[in-house]
Amino acid sequence: MPEFWSNLGSIVWYTLTLIIFISYLFALFSIVGDVMRDRSLSGGIKAVWIICLIFFPFLTALIYLIVRGGGMAERSLAQAQQSKAAAEEYIRSVAGSPSDEIARAKSLLDAGTISDAEYEKLKAKALS
């Protein structure tokens, strides 16, 4: 029976160590992303943060989260809003309006390319 508990303790310790390491990696990637995303930092300051993260990773990550952690969420939110606005603008530019589709169908009807029934079908589709 003691061997079982010894192995169980090793499994729990290994699992806990793995969870802590993965959590640290998530925090590290988040910090590097935030450093690169922040437009208020100069290139030299960004380089200093990255170099410190390489040579003193745990201490630098802790200091960064204490000093600049409050702005991380704001910068992330601003980036998400900018990405959403760009995606919506692209969708609007590609989609076109129903009046554009009806005008295109009318020009096809006037050119004799489509029949009246096809024009009405395209018009109904554009309005739906």
Inter-residue contact 26 to 56 (CB < 8 Å): no
Q: Which percentage of the chain shows pLDDT scores above 70?
A: 96
Q: What is the CA radius of gyration of the chain?
A: 29
pLDDT surpassing 70 at residue 41: yes
| Domain residue extents for the chain | 2-88, 96-128
What predicted TM-score, i.e. pTM, was given to this entire model?
Answer: 0.61
pLDDT in tens, 68-117: 988 888 888 988 999 999 998 888 777 767 788 888 888 888 988 888 88
124, amino acid identity: A
- List the one residue out of 74, 70, 28 whose CA is nearest residue 50: 28
Tokens of 3: 């061997």
Measured from the Cβ of residue 60, the count of other Cβ atoms closer than 10 Å reads 19
